[in-house]
Chains A and B, each alone.
Chain A
Amino acid sequence: MNSVMSPTTTALLQVDGVCKAFPKPDGGNLAVLEGVQLRLEEGQIVGLLGRSGSGKSTLLRLIAGLDAPSSGALAFRGQPIDGPPCGIAMVFQSFALFPWLTVFENVALGLEAQHMEKGQIRKRSLAAIDLIGLDGFESAYPRELSGGMRQRVGFARALVVHPDVLLMDEPFSALDVLTAETLRTDFLDLWAEGRAPIKGVILVTHNIEEAVLMCDRILVFGSNPGRILNEIDVKIPQPRKRLDPVFRELVERIYVEMTSRRTGATPGRNERFPGLGIGSVMRRVSSNLLSGLLETIAAPPFNGTADLPKIASDLQMEIDELFPVAETLQLMRFAEIEGGDIRLTEAGTAFVNADLDERKRMFARHLLNYVPLAAHIRRVLDERASHSARKSRFIDELEDFMGEDDAEDTLRAVISLARYAEAFAYNDETAAFSLENPV
């Protein structure tokens, strides 16, 4: 926050009060980004940290000029962004390489688009390929390369246009742990030694450790609508060590931040949709994961209380995978999340010790008591003489509160939980809920 205090120079990037909303089918608007403020100075790596659906990727696309905001202003070097600006390049999560072009042709494409002279294209492309450690692979097609090498092509392709700002959209999340770490280290070396022709970086990630490892400043994003919850300056000098106590402490702090903010936000959200209480987005979570996590927390070394970062690294789960499970447990009152810890409730402990039939009974009880949407569906089915209801009926209700995809996801999440609990049945062929239990 203190880095914003240099008004004499123009920032590389300036984002002011940006909002983005998408129209809903019923005519209203669904906000995915609200009041976002951001400033990128020369020599900085800024991380946008948040879970999926927090609008961080949307913000990155606005900065890249691939989309326009509903309101607010974005400027690159003082110039408003109204299309992909020259001087901003992007690295994609899925690499986005053109499969019919060789490594060299992929890298050269951005320069060809600038109508550069042929010799110059060749020189600069080879230099970029060299810089990123791809020499020897010039004539290879992407399909011949491993994931790590493909992402190197992605980096070379972005760096070849000599951008001032590099945008990275979860560039390491599609890679295995070891490859991702190598690529991160290589990139940080390039950056620290000033060999990469870039002046600032924006990194979108949902990996807390990655953010702490790479960024000078971290913006923590919250969901519904996407907004910046907090800004954290990372003052640990590079190169950073993951096992350094200061590093661990910061990671822990961000975990607390992200979990407590969310629980804190829950009543607020419910207030916005009074009455039904079905308006919160749920992610699909397998019942195996739910009971698996409960059992892991109950067992030593955790014995009922687990540190979230610790259990995440033990189970090798990204926060995008861990948080929905933990939150579903919390919603169903099997666990509580507080201060970066997850703790079993009495019901949670009882669940772990119960046999399969008893578990199912408990699960059904908690589902219908604490998950408003499940209770709502059950009530509708009970009230109707036919004991059946169409899926579209509930989708329509959900879409008053959320987008199409989220509504589908939320309903699917509840269907999956209800199937395990045998609370009600759903037939995908007829898209209908019923109370009958198939044989």
Chain B
Amino acid sequence: MDRTDPFAFVRDLASRWDLIAIVVVIGILTFFAEASRGLLVPLTRLAATPMSLDPVHLPVYAARTTLRMFVALVLSLLFTLTYATWAAKSPRAERLLVPILDVLQSVPILGFISITYVFFMSLVPGRVLGAEFGAIFAIFTSQAWNMAFSFYQSLRTVPYELREAADSFRLSAWMRFWRLEVPFAMPALLWNMMMSMSGSWFFVVASESVTMGHTSIALPGIGSYIALAIEQGNLHAIGWAILTMLIVILLYDQLIFRPLVVWGTRFRIDQEQDARVPTSWALTMLQRSRLMGAFHALFYAVVRWTSRTTPRPQALIRIANAGASRRADRLWFLLLAAVVVWALWRIAQVLIGETSLHEALQVAGLATITMLRVLILIALASLLWVPIGIWVGLRPRATQVVQPIAQFLAAFPANLLFPLATFGIVTWKLNPDIWLSPLMILGTQWYILFNVIAGAAAMPAELRYAAQNLNVGGWLWWRRVALPGVLPYYVTGAITASGGSWNASIVAEIASWHQVEVKAHGLGAYIAEATTAADFHRIILGITTMSLFVVAINRVFWRPLYYYAERKFRLT
């Protein structure tokens, strides 16, 4: 309900929670101001004030890194609200936009960072801003797709009666969007946003320091700090960077992730009271503080005001002219076909003109090696984490402890740990083809773990009692009860882990430590080398091959498995 006294919040401004809230808000503002100060300086200044390995600078670097992440998140959100809405509202656009999104999800982001860098730096020549845009765009591409997908799917599944209720009260399209569609999509969108952010720490770190041909850019941040530490072979600095990142992720988890997920539960459509309501101290603070209440009221005032100024719906005549719309459809498809032909032509020009058959075969061979690596790693990680996840998920107390840790580990950018592994490989002269491989799954295996935990925790208690009652034990219990019960969840986790591992191969298959380079055979190393050499034809060849492999594996393997698991084992 609306507050009757608009100034009520001023009266007890000094409540305990307010003081904390003010400190937090001002702190955040300062932090952003501090972090964004360097954006407009010319590139030459970047060279003039080189990165330093002194841990004193780490807080500022961490702030710059975090700022990039949030700017990208805002862009991803804008993209989601527009692109996904367009796809959901226009059947014609939908046919093109949704498959595009699907493919974009499979494109290895790290592979084309160099290309986007060149593009953005040409937009703002000579300024740090251009490089910043490049980095932010890379982070954006790691966040936006699944957010847009989730929003699109929510828009498509708004319950029929709620849509009708909104229609019968004659809500304008704008009001419907903000009062019905966005709230309905909120829980899924928030969850995907959090997953995106967790995933994108990896790319934030990877995108800060890029070397292309003769140009090398190091934007101030933790990623560049690590890159410098690797170059100088400074193990202490790497330890400091890891520690800083741990703190950053911990703050992110407590201040952003948890409050938002808890807040999102209020938009859930299943109206049953949930016994296990998650809690967050940060959210409690925000909710109890009058100041935040005022912000909230302001937001709704804006929504109401914009609703009032948007036109009310006109009388709707829904029987469209079928003939005209079919003609428009045909025109649209002709247009699409033309675009596709043109794109194919361009790709063919670049690839066929410059690539020999030998090179293409070689790249396909490398892709096969990387594919084998990913599959073996997923299998190994599954063997390890599925039993552990089930064990944990069936014990509520253990779940409470382990689940947040697993989510935390999934967010932690594993590439910060790569130098440690490289150091080991270089020192003990290990075979990089074997020992670099685990790095690919270092950060992504946690998706398997926490999805399996969630699946086991969601298994109805009565099913477990029934199994106990029938004395189902040993291998039979795993085969008939536990594994089928978590399969849909496991597949979801494994798909995420597999996609992430392909991407990680670009930074994991080739590594260096203090002038020594170790390299595994694979498509990831091929793309990384092409990037360093600024060889655009090989970059495009590599990325295209990798995208094709990822899409093919998804279509042939993961997607059928997912639908099979959903149909057969999802407990409703």
Chain A interface (Cβ within 8 Å of chain B)? 61, 64-68, 82-84, 86, 88-90, 92-96, 98-102, 104-105, 109-110, 112-115, 118, 122, 138-139, 141-144, 157, 161
Instruction: Tell me if A112 and B317 are in contact (CB < 8 A).
Output: no
14 contacts between A and B (CB under 8 A): A64-B164, A68-B319, A82-B315, A83-B314, A83-B315, A92-B164, A105-B1, A109-B171, A112-B307, A113-B170, A113-B172, A114-B170, A115-B308, A115-B312
Which of A65, A83, A98 contacts B162 (CB under 8 A)?
A: A98
Instruction: Tell me if B169 and A64 are in contact (CB < 8 A).
Output: no
What mask results when residues 252 to 278 of chain B are scored 1 for a CB within 8 Å of chain A, else 0?
Answer: 000000000000001111011100000
B104 CB to closest chain A CB (Å) equals 31
Instruction: Tell me if B266 and A100 are in contact (CB < 8 A).
Output: yes
Question: What is the CA–CA distance of A113 and B307 in the complex, to the nearest angstrom?
Answer: 8
Tell me whether chain B's interface is mostly helix, strand or loop, or mixed: loop
User: A-B pairs with the 8 shortest C-beta distances?
Assistant: A96-B161, A143-B271, A83-B315, A110-B169, A96-B165, A83-B316, A82-B315, A100-B183
Instruction: Tell me if A61 and B164 are in contact (CB < 8 A).
Output: yes
Contacts of B162 in A (CB 8 A): 96, 98
Instruction: Tell me if A99 and B268 are in contact (CB < 8 A).
Output: yes
Question: What is the CA–CA distance of A110 and B167 in the complex, to the nearest angstrom?
Answer: 10
Instruction: Tell me if A122 and B2 are in contact (CB < 8 A).
Output: yes
Instruction: Tell me if B164 and A98 are in contact (CB < 8 A).
Output: no
Instruction: Tell me if B1 and A96 are in contact (CB < 8 A).
Output: no
A228 CB to closest chain B CB (Å) equals 23
Instruction: Tell me if A67 and B318 are in contact (CB < 8 A).
Output: yes
B212 within 8 A of A: no
Instruction: Tell me if B180 and A98 are in contact (CB < 8 A).
Output: yes
Known: A66-B167, A100-B266, A109-B169. A94 touches B161 (CB 8 A): yes
Instruction: Tell me if B165 and A92 are in contact (CB < 8 A).
Output: yes
B42 within 8 A of A: no
Instruction: Tell me if A68 and B307 are in contact (CB < 8 A).
Output: no
Most chain B CB inside 10 Å of its own CB: which residue of A61, A95, A102, A113: A113
Question: What is the CA–CA distance of A141 and B307 in the complex, to the nearest angstrom?
Answer: 23
Instruction: Tell me if A138 and B1 are in contact (CB < 8 A).
Output: yes
Instruction: Tell me if A86 and B170 are in contact (CB < 8 A).
Output: yes
Chain B interface (Cβ within 8 Å of chain A)? 1-2, 159, 161-162, 164-165, 167-172, 175, 179-180, 183, 186, 266-269, 271-273, 304, 307-308, 312-319
A164 CB to closest chain B CB (Å) equals 14
Instruction: Tell me if B183 and A98 are in contact (CB < 8 A).
Output: yes
Question: What is the CA–CA distance of A93 and B172 in the complex, to the nearest angstrom?
Answer: 24
B54 CB to closest chain A CB (Å) equals 49
Question: What is the CA–CA distance of A88 and B169 in the complex, to the nearest angstrom?
Answer: 9
Known: A66-B164, A84-B167, A90-B168. A143 touches B272 (CB 8 A): yes
Contacts of A82 in B (CB 8 A): 315-317
B18 CB to closest chain A CB (Å) equals 22
A233 CB to closest chain B CB (Å) equals 29
Instruction: Tell me if A99 and B179 are in contact (CB < 8 A).
Output: no
B450 CB to closest chain A CB (Å) equals 27
Known: A68-B317, A68-B318, A109-B169. A100 touches B267 (CB 8 A): yes
Question: What is the CA–CA distance of A83 and B318 in the complex, to the nearest angstrom?
Answer: 9
Contacts of B316 in A (CB 8 A): 65, 82-84
B336 CB to closest chain A CB (Å) equals 24
Instruction: Tell me if A142 and B183 are in contact (CB < 8 A).
Output: no
Contacts of A112 in B (CB 8 A): 175, 304, 307
B151 CB to closest chain A CB (Å) equals 16
- Chain A: which residue is nearest B272 at the CB level? A143
Question: What is the CA–CA distance of A78 and B255 in the complex, to the nearest angstrom?
Answer: 59
Contacts of A118 in B (CB 8 A): 2
Question: What is the CA–CA distance of A83 and B314 in the complex, to the nearest angstrom?
Answer: 8
Question: What is the CA–CA distance of A141 and B270 in the complex, to the nearest angstrom?
Answer: 12
Question: What is the CA–CA distance of A118 and B301 in the complex, to the nearest angstrom?
Answer: 11
Instruction: Tell me if A113 and B1 are in contact (CB < 8 A).
Output: no
B120 CB to closest chain A CB (Å) equals 39
A24 CB to closest chain B CB (Å) equals 15
Instruction: Tell me if A98 and B179 are in contact (CB < 8 A).
Output: yes
Instruction: Tell me if A90 and B165 are in contact (CB < 8 A).
Output: yes
Instruction: Tell me if A96 and B164 are in contact (CB < 8 A).
Output: yes
A129 CB to closest chain B CB (Å) equals 11
A315 CB to closest chain B CB (Å) equals 28
Instruction: Tell me if A109 and B179 are in contact (CB < 8 A).
Output: yes
Contacts of A92 in B (CB 8 A): 161, 164-165
Known: A98-B179, A122-B2, A143-B272. A88 touches B315 (CB 8 A): no
Instruction: Tell me if A104 and B168 are in contact (CB < 8 A).
Output: no
Which of B1, B164, B304 contacts A90 (CB under 8 A)?
A: B164
Which of B164, B169, B268, B314 contacts A113 (CB under 8 A)?
A: B169
